[in-house]
Chains A and B, each alone.
Chain A
């Protein structure tokens, strides 16, 4: 099972794919128009687009016979959520540490240090 968060990270971990997203910021583009910006084969570009599509970062919109790729920033929220979870986690850990230390002011650690 692939976690959606991981799919977004995986999609973003590659510089080519980030550059594709960057290109799409100014508006939708056809696969051909995207491909001319990269020195790689069209199938290679398509593969990157597929990964972005699977992560939900781009959406295809049919225009006549062509397919226009458009940016969808919504999955980026997953990264924001991931970081917020860590923020809450550290806040909680610090208050727990404070409570522990202030309740145990005189713990002697000389013994455990000697064994290191």
Chain B
């Protein structure tokens, strides 16, 4: 895995004992999402126009009780296998955080679904001016720094 991927991408998977259509519904239907999403934060609303180009927004309160809003746009929907959307957190301390990209990939086998969430774009979005070399060295620095921290 390259340094860039290691630093810049988040990939998490889980196996769920249910068909993909069932998982897809839980990921996209607001009445269901409101039930399971809430954890450290409290989700109060979720609105989604579930089609490519459609927008989505979720609002709630974080663990300190401060309101937050996360929004974005769907870029790709292939029910029940793929959902891709942009993601931007609007909060008091994160106003400058740019859009990133989240992708849910669902793979069903014998009634069991493996869901993989990939969250990318942390670097790409900052690099709108497409200056890869500069970033490469910054990422190398970060990687080196991370190694000294774990050593």
Binding site for B on A (CB under 8 A): 1, 3, 5-6, 9-10, 12-15, 18-19, 21-22, 25, 71, 73-74, 76-77, 79-80, 82-83, 86-87, 90-102, 104-105, 107, 109, 112, 116
Which chain A residues lie closer than 8 Å to B95 at the CB level?
Answer: 6
Query: If A18-B138, A105-B18 touch, does A96 touch B149 (CB 8 Å cutoff)?
Result: no
> Bound complex: CA of A91 vs CA of B16, how far in Å?
13
Docked complex Cα distance between A79 and B29 (Å): 32
Q: B36 is contacted by which of A13, A76, A87, A97 (Cβ under 8 Å)?
A: A97
Provide the bound-state CA to CA distance between A91 and B14, in Å: 9
Q: Is the CB of A12 within 8 A of B50?
A: no
* Docked CA distance A90–B100 (Å): 14
List CB contacts (< 8 Å) of B88-136 with chain A.
93-97, 115, 117, 119, 122, 126-129, 131, 133-135
- By a beta-carbon cutoff of 8 Å, the part of chain B in contact with chain A is 7-8, 10, 12-18, 22-23, 25-27, 29, 31-32, 35-37, 39-40, 50, 93-97, 115, 117, 119, 122, 126-129, 131, 133-135, 137-138, 141-142, 144-146, 149
Point out the residues of chain B lying under 8 angstroms from A74, CB to CB.
Answer: 145
**A-B contacts, CB under 8 A, total:** 126
Partner of A18, one of B37, B131, B145: B131
- State the Cβ distance, A37 to closest chain B Cβ, in Å: 12
A94 and B117 alpha carbons, distance in the complex (Å): 8
Asked if B18 contacts A87 (CB within 8 A), the reply is no
- In the complex the two chains form, is B36's CB within 8 Å of A15's CB? no
CA distance A25 to B35 in the complex (A): 49
For B10, the chain A residues whose CB sits under 8 A away are 83, 86-87, 90
Given known contacts A6-B94, A10-B96, A73-B144, is B115 in contact with A94 (CB within 8 Å)? yes
For B32, what are the chain A residues with a Cβ–Cβ distance below 8 Å?
100, 104, 107
Closest-by-CB residue of B relative to A76 is: B142
* Cβ-closest chain B residue relative to A10: B96
Q: A18-B137, A18-B138, A83-B7 are in contact. Are A96 and B39 (CB under 8 A)?
A: yes
With contacts A90-B119, A97-B36 known, is A21 near B141, CB below 8 A? Answer: yes
Q: Return chain B residues, CB-CB under 8 Å to A112.
A: 29, 31
The answer, among A71, A87, A91, A102, for a CB contact under 8 Å with B17, is: A102
Partner of A99, one of B31, B36, B97: B36
A109: chain B residues at CB < 8 Å are 25, 29
Shortest Cβ distance from residue A2 to the other chain B in the assembled complex, whole angstroms: 9
